[in-house]
Amino acid sequence: MRTAIITGVSTGIGRSLAVNFVAQGYRVFGVSRNEDILAQLKSKLGKRFEYLAVDLVEEGSVDNVFFTAKKVFNCEPDLIIANAGRGIKGSVSTVNMQEFEEVMDLNYLSTIKLLQKSANVLKNINSDSKDIVVIGSVAGSNISPFSSAYGTSKIAIHWAAEALRRELAPEGIRVSLIIPGVVKSNFQENAGYDDNLIDSFENDFGPLISPDELAETISTIISLPSHINISEMTIRPTKQAYP
């Protein structure tokens, strides 16, 4: 039985992954700041789902996640999904710098801490499959002026994920970078994108990828034999030519 930690589990991709994994018999430890939504998810998913409401940018929060997950499931995780993050509108010349610093703290610094802790935990467990899955973005692979602030935070994580893969490959630990295009969720709204831009995604690229569809793809990747590592995968709506 696999044990997973999923950050950013309250909505979107993270929530769909939790539902998918529990349905397969995995134990899932979900992390989010929103305790009410976590409690609702616990009510829906039952005993295979436990959670911690915490802000990952706070000092010591990553260590607390792993400590609590081990305490409630009596084992270390063998699967970590680095999904927590948020968008931000604006370019290098227009972005609100205070908001940008907050985004970098969450999207980059807290994720690096999570990846470091994950690597050190996975090195010391005995499991047939050991996985770290990092959720990136096409905005990090194809920089566009309108989203360059957000893209900067994601390209840094893309590089970190590949560097970590090379470091951990001799240990038999898989690192997979998933690079989604536009996913139908509340991500764009929470990032402060205007309604016309959000509508244009559906009109120009639709039908968009659903979080459930993306979760199913990730589930397939981590279910492959342990000697096969899909190290990077870009998943776009078919009509999304760019980015």
Q: Which residues are paired to 3 by β-bridges?
A: 27
Q: What is the pLDDT of residues 128-158, one digit of tens each?
A: 999 999 999 999 999 877 789 999 999 999 9
Amino acid present at 1 = M
Q: What is the pLDDT of residues 166-176, one digit of tens each?
A: 999 999 999 99
Residue 240 lies in a domain: no
Residue 135 lies in a domain: yes
Q: State the total domains in the chain.
A: 1
Whether the predicted model's global pTM rises above the 0.75 cut: yes
Residue 10 lies in a domain: yes
Dig out the tokens for 185 from the structure: 């969720």
Q: Is 115 helix (H, G, I), strand (E, B) or coil?
A: helix
Domain that holds residue 76: 3-235
3-state SS track over 24-80:
CCCEEEEEECCHHHHHHHHHHHHHHEEEEECCCCCCCHHHHHHHHHHHHHCCCCCEE
The one-digit pLDDT tens for each residue of the chain (243 residues) are 999 999 999 999 999 999 999 999 999 999 999 999 999 999 999 999 999 999 999 999 999 999 999 999 999 999 999 999 999 989 999 999 999 999 999 999 999 999 999 999 999 999 999 999 999 999 999 987 778 999 999 999 999 999 999 999 999 999 999 999 999 887 776 666 777 777 788 889 989 999 999 999 999 999 999 999 999 999 999 999 988
Residue 155 lies in a domain: yes
Q: Which residues are paired to 50 by β-bridges?
A: 29
CATH label of the domain that carries residue 140:
3.40.50.720
Residue 161 lies in a domain: yes
Residue 242 lies in a domain: no
Question: Do the Cβ atoms of 1 and 71 come closer than 8 Å?
Answer: no
Residue 139 lies in a domain: yes
